[in-house]
Amino acid sequence: MLKSKNYQFWFCTGSQDLYGDVCLAHVAEHSQKIVEALNASGNLPYEVVWKPTLITNELIRKTLNEANTDENCAGVITWMHTFSPAKSWILGLQEYRKPLLHFHTQFNREIPYDTIDMDFMNENQAAHGDREYGHIFSRLGMERKVIMGYWEDADIQKKIGSWMRTAVGVIESSHIRVMRIADNMRNVAVTEGDKVEAQIKFGWEIDAYPVNEIAAEVESVSKGDIDALVEEYYDKYEILLEGRDEKEFREHVAVQAGIEIGFERFLEAKNYQAIVTHFGDLGSLRQLPGLAIQRLMEKGYGFAGEGDWKTAAMVRLMKIMTQGMKDAKGTSFMEDYTYNLVPGKEGILQAHMLEVCPSVAEGKISIKEQPLSMGDREDPARLVFTSKTGPAIATSLIDLGDRFRLIINDVDCKKVEKPMPKLPVATAFWTPQPNLQTGAEAWILAGGAHHTAFSYDLTSEQMGDWAACMGIEAVYIDRDTTIRQFRNELLWNSAVYRK
């Protein structure tokens, strides 16, 4: 499900013909070495492809347009080894439409004190050429990422790798299709939004289907297929009967197995990568999709409850951005539920009615059945677990009427002090930065939702860069946040982002 293209990034070095062929031969040789080192480093999630040195307006324009149309190219990395007069870049950049990284590096690490002469200076003048080049982006008002540092350093290579994930998020955003089998929950404001504007800004297609169409797909799943999946569940997860009848329990689990198979078939057949449900609008479905949705999220589908298509699309987007990450800790839909306000132990207990992605789980995962306190269906089977510890981000995309705003909060995930044996849902627990009081105040001032798209594997920088590429407002709540400064940012942004 999470398989996407083997994206590549083009490495384009800028120069000019002022310094002669010998110099240009060195430029090409040096940039090839840098590309080889980047690819061999193991620090990049995608391949870098070397391109011939760009020295003229025509070649720059041609190369950047080829990058636009190459389906595998997710972005271009540029570097001015020598001086490349930036007027040569104007037409090419104006026509360029993909993410761009300005990698401000230099071939040599150290100034060669004993041998340095003017030939060396002219050949190795990124400090100078990259400033000329950077100027034209600022003049054009174009979005780009700038990373400065030595190309052999692992931390710099990792920064490039991190930006590559953002770039793939930008490219893949326009391939996200969200299936709504329920409308927004009645009277709820923050989960609403302008679907046309979302398609204009993010490329998302958000379509509604009658819930009974997907329910018919669920009903058509064969008993053999259901039994096989139930066996898999029983092998993989701990069964918490808690006094319930074994046979009835298994039958309820089988309903979720049918939903998982039927939903996945329906989504695949119609080419959707995210879905929303609503506990109050289940048609002929026998249970609120719980375990089934949790498993689909783990496979890479986006999801959010109560018709919240914005969060469902964000969960899908963030799963794409973390794709193939070694030692990934997980990405999920989440909801702020209840606080612990004990001094020194402050935090927010996170859960949802049922639907938390098992990718964030730590330790054993069990199947439970409990009545829902809402709706009118069978007691649904769900996976219960607690989540990993460590730094993570919680994001909320809201529609302010005249614009979208992405709120990004750095959070520290912790274990709760004690088990919660009576709580029948998967949970996480975190303290927002800079602390619960300021974090929650800032979140509420920004208008952030109770639903979030949450990930241990992405950074606020990556999500902020994605928002910048999408041309939307992003606000960060992190260890530097103060309420006075934050209120000012919101005020200034309201002027900057006004349509």
Q: Which residues bind Mn ion (CB under 5 A)?
A: 305-306, 335
Residue-level length of the chain: 499
Residue closer to Mn ion by CB (options 26, 278) is: 278
Residues 282 and 294: their CA atoms lie apart, in Å, by: 17
Q: What's the closest the beta carbon of residue 335 comes to Mn ion, in angstroms?
A: 5
Residue closer to Mn ion by CB (options 129, 305) is: 305
Residue closer to Mn ion by CB (options 354, 468) is: 354
Residues 463 and 407: their CA atoms lie apart, in Å, by: 9
Q: What's the closest the beta carbon of residue 413 comes to Mn ion, in angstroms?
A: 20
Q: What's the closest the beta carbon of residue 275 comes to Mn ion, in angstroms?
A: 14
Mind giving me the DSSP string for 241-270?
A: -TT--HHHHHHHHHHHHHHHHHHHHHHHHH
Structure tokens that stand for 427 in this block: 């949970």
Q: What's the closest the beta carbon of residue 305 comes to Mn ion, in angstroms?
A: 4
Q: What's the closest the beta carbon of residue 384 comes to Mn ion, in angstroms?
A: 17
Q: What's the closest the beta carbon of residue 311 comes to Mn ion, in angstroms?
A: 9
How many C-beta atoms surround the C-beta of residue 62 within 10 A? 13
How many C-beta atoms surround the C-beta of residue 114 within 10 A? 5
* DSSP three-state, residue 178: strand
DSSP 163: H
Residue closer to Mn ion by CB (options 166, 191) is: 191
Residue closer to Mn ion by CB (options 305, 424) is: 305
DSSP 113: T
Q: Nearest 5°: CA angle at 423, between 417 and 426?
A: 80
- Is the Cβ–Cβ distance between 493 and 476 less than 8 Å? no
In the bound complex, which residue of the shown chain has the CB atom lying closest to Mn ion? 305
Amino acid at site 442:
A
- The residues facing 302 across adjacent strands are 274
Residue closer to Mn ion by CB (options 305, 439) is: 305
Residue closer to Mn ion by CB (options 156, 318) is: 318
